[in-house]
Each structure stands twice: as C-alpha cells, then as structure tokens.
Amino acid sequence: MTPDLPLTRDIVLIGGGHAHALLLRQWGMDPLPGARLTLINPSATAPYTGMLPGFVAGHYSREMLEIDLVRLARFAGARMIFGRAVGIDRDTRLIQVTGRPDISYDFASFDIGITSDMPDLPGFPEHGIAAKPLGPFADQWRAHLEREAGPVVVIGGGVAGVELALAMHHALKGRGEVRIVEAGTGLRGVSAATATRLRHALLTAGVELFENVTVSKILADTVTLSNGETLPAALTVGAAGARPFDWLAETGLDLHEGYIAVGPELRSTNDPHIFAVGDCAHLTASPRPKAGVFAVRAAPVLTQNLKAVAADQPLKEFRPQSHYLKLISLGGKSALADRHTRTVGGSWAWRWKDWIDRRFMDRLNHLPQMSSGVRPAVAAVGAVETQPLCGGCGSKVGPDVLERVLSRMPNSERGDIETGPGDDAAVLKLGNTRQVLSVDHLRAFWNDPWLFGRIAAVHALGDVWSMGAAPQAALAKITLPRLAPELQERTLSEIMAAANDVFREEGAEIVGGHSTQGAELTIGFTVTGLAGDRVVTTSGAEVDDALIVTRPIGSGTLFAAEMALQANGDHVEAALGIMARSQGEAARILAPVANAMTDVTGFGLAGHTARIADASGLTACIDLSALPLFDGVEALAEEGIRSTIWQANKGAVRLDGPDTPRTSLLFDPQTAGGLLAAVPAGSAQATLDDLMAKGHQAAIVGAFTERAEVQIQAR
C-alpha cells in the first residue's frame, strides 16, 4: 500500500495553453507523490487555436474548440485558480493574480500564449478586437453575425490573418466584404508555392489584400490607412503583430524580444525555478516560429522536467523538429498542406486537418478511466459499493437521522436560551440583547483553499443572516491535509485571508479558532450575530405569503458531476462565483418584511421549505417553472446525477408533484445556498425587484396555503 505522503512542493502552472493542458492529462495518469499542482487561468476553459478558423467559418461550435481546464484539473488532482496572472516576485516566489492574494510557488511554468491586441493604435481599444485571446473575439464575431453583418477589416496579412479572412468570407456568405491590411509584404513564413495558392484563394473569394500600408486610425465604421484611403468596417480585427504580454518585461527574467528565454530543458536561462513553453517562450538553443505543434511536442518534456526538479532529479532536453506540417484552412472545407517547400491541397487536406484537430480535443476532453482501488473480496453485510462521497453540504448526515437524534435531546433548562436543537441557530438572551449563535463545517468540494475558504465563510453566515441578525464574530476550525510546514502556512494564509474578507465585509471579526491535520481539507466557522427585539425564525409564515429564494439551486448535482468529470467547466466557474458572494445585502432587504426565513443548505429547497411549512402549520405550493437553476444542472439531473445525500433528502419530505429532473432538484443539497423567505403577497414583488436590482438571482418560486396532507405541492 502506498504511504500517505505529505505535500512538500508547490508546482504552479501559469496559463492554460496546450502544453499545460497535456501536462494535466499526463499528471493525472502518473502524478508525482508529494507535489501539489496548481493551475492559474482567467477562465474555466482555454481555446484550441487550431480550430479557430473552422469556428469562424461555421464548421465548429464554440464548445467544440474549448479545452475544459476544470475537468483536466480535477483529473490531475490539481488546484484550479480562476484569475489572470499579472506579475511575479521571484525573490519571494509569489505570483500576483487579479482579484485575490498572491500565489506561492517552488517551481512555476508559463504557458500564457501571446496577444494581438493593439493598444497604441488610435481607436483600436474602442472599436477593434484582437483575434487573440479567443474569448472576447468569439463573442464579437458571434454578435457581428447576429446583426446585419457588414464589411470586415483584418489587420495583418500573415498566414493567420489570411486564414481568418477566408473563414470570415465563407461565414458571411455575401453579407459583407472582407479586406486585409498588411504593413509589409503578406504571406511570409510559408513556401512560395503556398503563398501563390493563398493569393489565388483570396482573389477567387474577392478578399482584397492591401500590402505595404499601415492603419493610422480606427472609427466605429471606418478604418483609415496611412496613404489616406478609408475602408468601411463594421468589424475590425487585429491579427497582426502578435506579441508577448507586457507584464513579462517586469519579471526580471531573461527575455528575447519580450518572450521568456529558455534553455534546452525549457527552463529560464536566469531562474532555475521558472519554466516556459508555447508561444510565450523563446527556445534559445533551437529557435522556432510560433506554432502550436512545438507546444504539443514540448508537453512530455515539460511534465518530466517539472517532476524532476521537484524530486531533485536530472532534466531532459527538448529537441524540436526542424520542419513541421502547416495545414491552412481556405474558408470552406478545403485546406492546403505546406511542409518545407512542398504544397498540396484540397478537400482531403481539410478532412485530414479536421481529424487531427478532433483527435487532439478528444484526448483532452475524454479522459481515461483511472482505477479507484481494489475492491475487497469479502466485506461486511450492507457494505455495498456507493458513489464517492460528495463535498460541501452533499456530505451531511440525512435529515431523518439528524431529526431522530435531536428529538431525544432534552429541552434547555436555561432561561437565557430561546431556541432548542434543530433551529437555524441558537438565540441567546443577554440582557436586552439577543445573540444568535451557529456553527457550520464543510468537507472540501473545490481544491482552491482561498475560494473554498470564502464560500465556507458565506455558508456559515447563512444562519445568522436568515434570522435577521448582524454578524458579530467568528471562530475558525480548519483541518488541513498532510502538508509540509511551509505549505501549511501558505494554505492557512489563503483560507484566513478569504474568510477575513467575508466577515469584515459584514462588520464581523475572526476572533480565534482551532486547526489540525487530517485526511482532507475541511473548513468550518462558529459565528455569532446580534439581533434586536425581533428574530426571524422558520415559524410565522402566513397563508398567501410568497416564497422567495435569493439564488439558484443545483450546486450539489453540479459538483457531484464535477467530481465524476462530467460537468461543464464554465458552469462550475459561474456557480462558484455566485456561491462566493456575500448575502448580507439580501438579508437586510428580506429581514424587515419576511414573516419566516431560513437558508437553503444540505436538505435542499424542498427540505428547508418543509421546515417553514411545518413550523407555520401550512403547506407550500412550488411553481417548478419559476425555479432559478445553476447553468447545466437540469441536463445533469436528467442524466441521473445525484449528490450522496439526495435520497435521504427525498425520503424526508412529503411532496406531491411530477417525477421530472426539475422536481428532483428540489432535494439537491446546496452549499452557500440562497436565503428562503416567506414574504407577504403585497410586498413580494417590490422585495424581489430590490433583490434583483442588487444583482441577486432571486425569484418568487411559490406561495403558502392552508395545511394539506403533504408539506409541499409542486406543479
């Protein structure tokens, strides 16, 4: 049996380029024990640029060329951090990331690509769009097609610009001319035969190429050239002058024309703790053009060398090939194949390119099934194989078990305790003041301690907010997995910084806590809040009160799917952003008008609605069509994906309703879920409008009626 080794080294991947994506796949199949792998990327996905012309031409959907980094990070056991790296302090080994504290590293690798942005060209920031990075460009291109289209100007007459222009011409289908502007002579970097055939393709398509002229100014509907000529342009795209990101110049790393200079081991020539691959790197021992093929070929060497430096082993050299195959799309389903001095082409070349591209994406988005361990030959009766235990509130004890245990506890004999076991929080009388006291503890469901720490703090405050109290103080309870002392400090610092931000935003303070080591990361908080004369509880709802929830449901299903490598990374990123947002503002809107309130957590929307219904002697009627859902969760529910507590939640509620995927989500456990309030019908819409004006994805999902045989009627 492999020993449970502590994590001792932090390896951080900056950027989700092709080489890093392949590294994550390889790492998941053969990880290095003792090394903690982290990926930093601005978003959950990264584009495969080889399919960009096909996307522009309409041959591929946007989703087909997106590499799901969330899925790859889960497969590799890596931390996934959403943010843009903007700087690095090599003395302290800290990476600056937008919107969060710095990230520590022992070894770091850059694969951030390049940009074709033109910030110094007059009018480009306001009226132009760079072809790289893909995300903003794809959105602009889609919007252009959805409008009445119109003329397009592509700045840059290299192969990439010509390929893009031909793809645009194909997609526009006569709804706008496409023109290319090139400062020098176009179509450099390919053989003379290929250049000739590309010029013929432009001529046949009617795409005009302006050479040896520059753009001097861009307006909303025109592009002015240096010779004074004006071109009409409903869309102006920058595909020239691809360059390294400016912030690399501030790193102190050896650079070559702005690119990180690396030796044959892909390691920085002046910092042994830094590696770089892909378009952002310059191979000093064997310079090559900027082409994705080299990043793909470098991935195995990078993977081996990052493992080697972490284990103090010898490194391997990367030896790129001298010549490589260029497959160039011609707009329609035709392409040219260029290698060295030879050029061939036709529809077969496009099919070849399509096969290569699809095979590459299939390797990254359809990952191998790894063994989860040996099943025992003999086990105790009832020890059946079940799905892996969910994190967050999906790992809670079922409501019926908890209710039976709490029912056997005696009532308090103290006069200063107003509530008993089972309420959202304890209410303590301190003279004329009421103090609300609650505790929550979460098993990690996300591998970024900072983001998980923020979500855990928001989650813990839910009971205080739902009772209409103002947060006061918190005690932290943190269990770390086995880490070396330096990594313990880094991880605790990230968690405490995130939690402190949440509590201080609400006027509360962390006043102490407890830490320990265990099998996995768990974070919890004991929280207190101060209330006035009125504490909002689960009892008090009245007939015709509207039922308002302040955020979508479905997080339990989504993260059960994410654990199983079946969730969409963009959906996961969006949900995490909602879950990490404080709900103090929503509580301050609801508390003055709510007759009853709770928060939606482990027992799901149905379970927590049933608590209000039971405490108030009513039945809740839920409008299934009005339920706000996290993106993608209804489709996952239709596939039968459930959180581990789902069955127990379903069995604990008497519900009359259709058996549909949407109904099943009523029993889905929520972590940092929304506030759930019974609001008088006359003020419900105004309250909802206030919540939505503040950016909360709130909805009126039903109303309360006279008591019926069931707790909830869902229609």
Give the neighbor-by-neighbor strand order of the sheet with 332-339.
326-330, 332-339, 342-346
pLDDT at 181 over 80: yes
What per-residue confidence (pLDDT) applies to 383? Answer: 72
116-131 per-residue burial string, b: 16 or more CB within 10 A, e: under 16 = bbbeebebbeebbbbb
CATH of 124-238, one of 1.10.1200.10, 2.60.40.10, 3.50.50.60, 3.40.50.150: 3.50.50.60
Looking at residue 386, what is its pLDDT? 67
Contacts of residue 508, defined as CB under 8 A and 6 or more positions apart, other chains included, come to 461, 471, 472, 473, 474, 527, 529
Q: What percentage of residues in the chain have a pLDDT greater than 90?
A: 77
Q: pLDDT tens, 77-110?
A: 999 999 999 999 999 999 999 999 999 999 999 9
Instruction: Give me the pLDDT at residue 464, please.
Output: 96
- How far, in Å, CA of 453 to CA of 65, rounded? 32
Closest by Cα among 424, 466, 426 to 588: 466
Answer whether residue 370 shows pLDDT above 80.
no
Q: Give yes or no for residue 186 having a pLDDT over 90.
A: no
pLDDT at 1: 35
Q: In what order do the strands lie in the sheet with 215-218?
A: 215-218, 222-225, 230-232
Band (421; pLDDT cuts 50, 70, 90): low
Average pLDDT over residues 106-127: 89
**Lowest pLDDT segment from 119-123, 186-190, 259-263, 362-366:** 186-190
pLDDT at res. 250: 96
pLDDT score at 424: 64
CATH topology of domain 9-113+244-365: FAD/NAD(P)-binding domain (3.50.50)
Over residues 353-378, mean pLDDT: 84
Residue 559 confidence (pLDDT) above 90: yes
DSSP 3-state of 210: strand
187 Cβ neighbours under 8 A, 6+ residues apart: 157, 158, 159, 162, 194, 195, 198, 199
pLDDT digits (tens, 9 = 90+) for 481-531: 999 999 999 999 999 999 999 999 999 999 999 999 999 999 999 999 999
**Tokens encoding 653:** 């509620």
pLDDT at 2: 46
Q: Return the CATH superfamily for domain 424-536.
A: PurM-like, N-terminal domain (3.30.1330.10)
Question: If you average pLDDT over every residue of the chain, what do you get?
Answer: 92
Q: What is the pLDDT of residues 649-683, one digit of tens each?
A: 999 999 999 999 999 999 999 999 999 999 999 99
> Residue 134's pLDDT is what?
76
Q: What's the confidence (pLDDT) of residue 518? A: 93
Q: For position 479, what pLDDT does the model report?
A: 96
Cα distances (angstroms) measured from residue 182 to each of 116, 238, 480:
14, 11, 56
- Report, as an integer, the average pLDDT of 401-424: 71
Over residues 228-234, mean pLDDT: 94
pLDDT in the model for residue 480? 96
* pLDDT digit string, tens, across residues 10-34: 999 999 999 999 999 999 999 999 9
pLDDT of residue 314: 96
pLDDT at position 153 is 96
Is 390 an active-site residue? no
The answer, yes or no, to whether residue 415 has pLDDT greater than 70, is no
pLDDT at 374: 64
Output the pLDDT for position 3. 53
Q: Residues 280, 390, 393, 621: which is the catalytic one?
A: 393
Query: Among residues of the chain, what percentage have pLDDT more than 70?
Result: 97
Integer Cα distance of 641 and 557 in angstroms: 6
Q: What is the mean pLDDT of residues 326-337?
A: 92
Count CA atoms within 13 Å of residue 457 on its CB side.
32
pLDDT attached to residue 423 = 63
pLDDT for res 692: 97
Query: Is the CATH number 3.90.650.10 carried by domain 537-715?
Result: yes
Instruction: For the chain, give every domain's residue range.
Output: 9-113+244-365, 124-238, 424-536, 537-715
In angstroms, what CA-CA distances link 663 with 213, 393, 540, 670? Answer: 62, 19, 26, 15
- Which of residues 209 and 292 earns the better pLDDT score? 209
| Spatial distance between the Cα atoms of 531 and 585, rounded to a whole number of angstroms | 16
User: How far is the C-alpha of 594 from the C-alpha of 676, rounded, in Å?
Assistant: 9
Residues in the chain: 715
Same fold, 124-238 and 424-536: no
Residue 613: its pLDDT value, please? 97
Verdict on whether the full-model pTM lies above 0.75: yes
- The helix (run of H) or strand (run of E) holding residue 35 is strand 35-41
Rounded-to-integer distance, Cα 492 and Cα 275, Å: 27
Residues 355-364 pLDDT 10s? 999 999 999 9
Beta carbons within 8 Å of 114's beta carbon, 6+ residues apart: 132, 242, 243, 244, 245, 279, 280, 290
